[in-house]
Structure 1
Amino acid sequence: MAGLRGLGGKTAIVTGAASGIGAAAVSRLLDEGCQVVGVDLDAEAARRVCAPADTGRFHAVAADVAVEADCEAYVRAAVERFGGVQLFVNNAGILGKLTPIVDMEAGEFDRVLGVNLRGVFLGLKAVLRRMVEQGEGGAIVNTSSKGALKPPANTAAYGTSKAGILTLTKVAAIEHGRDNIRVNAICPGLVDTPILSPAYREHEAEVCAGFPMPRFAQAAEVAGLIAYLLSDEAAFQTGGVYSVDGGAVLV
């Protein structure tokens, strides 16, 4: 799996690193020879989950992605520990309560958008500034969702936040293409991670029966797409939106 061009020796920041897609992305990028700063509310959990054999190439940072100072701090940590940042997996997110619009509390809507959309915006702002200062280009992958493309009922907050990420991705790609900074988004479907409800996990065959590929994705499969989009194999791809859902968005 490893061996994509242009990843070895680069420094990546991965948010939401303590579990799921974030942890899988950390593992894949370490396999590709990157240094990685793993960001999570729980730095110890990120350190425990992502601990590589070569501990000198991984650094865990505690941060709330919805707080601007914390986003600036994780970029500063990457610079101080590894000398800069060339790659960014803007991944941290929450599902929130699945509630009809008429029953959703405004505070819950704000909470989900605060992490999923504000957090992605603040991460872009901090990392893009550093990449521009470095003058070396860079690559960014934002984690959106199939729910941004085909939202089910009761996901007003989650779906809206993930749809907003697609616009942020395109605007960032337009603004920074001439800086040789590429920005793409991925839209995972149902992935076998802790965010997936136990009820879904216990009935995978039924939940996925109508999908072209009737199963959940594994986090490592999503991480493979992330690694590709960050690599030089995708050197002319920016502003793109890439589904990784086994064709679920088609039905």
Structure 2
Amino acid sequence: MWGTCLAVDGLFTDLARGTYELFGWIPEGAEPRGWVGNRVWLVPEDKALDAWLLGDAESPGAVTKAGSLALVGEDDYLGPPEGYWGTVRVHDEEQWLGSCREFTKILPAENPLPPLLLRGLAPSSGLREVLAKGTRKSLDLEDVVLDIRDDQGDQLADFELRAKVEAWRPSPCGTDLIDLQLARHYPLLPQHAQPLWEQWFAGPPATPAAWAGLDTRKREVWLDLVRRRTCARTRRGGGGARAPALDGAGGSAAR
């Protein structure tokens, strides 16, 4: 273990989002408006080409007078088939939303990811040796696990990441503590998830079915958090897989 810290800055970031303009939009039901879905597929008319996924998709406005619809979301690693800008049909894993005769992608501005800042870190002796050495090779910590705990010390989630030390300095949080800055290559959690995660930082909700009043997008965040919590507690605690508990209970062994 490299150490324990009091807080992490940079856990939540605005993910890179692509914007697609769908020309000649023909709806198959209600017009998409606002948040569209957590997993929205764009399916080319050409059956030889693969569909691609748009995560956490939303439509920021109504269909224009020219008949085009904008979709904004997180592209999967594949993105649209190279050189294809023709007809696509849109599906949200429950129903077809509509189709367009052609589309274009508006590339987002490049915004570098902010570093992770571990504030109030009590470094292990091994990390102190690494920082004292200070070489490029030694500062590459390679694969590490960021273990997130709630205010009661119970495990909430863990994230595997490639960590490289960029900077460190004495921390105002206490004597012998440091603030450690790590470079990272991909985001961990979207910015819109932060309010719900902060509720869980205080501990599991005391009110049963606290998720029931959430809209669909926030329910997706809640479910992702519960899954991460269950997986992290299973990996650390052993004893077999646990069933996710939506209300935050420990979860029973899966049968």
- The TM-score by the shorter chain falls in which range? under 0.3
User: Counting strand residues as a fraction of each chain, which structure ranks higher?
Assistant: 2
Structure 2 length-normalised TM: 0.26
Structure with more of its chain in helix, by fraction: 1
TM-score (norm 1): 0.26
Q: Which has the larger radius of gyration?
A: 2
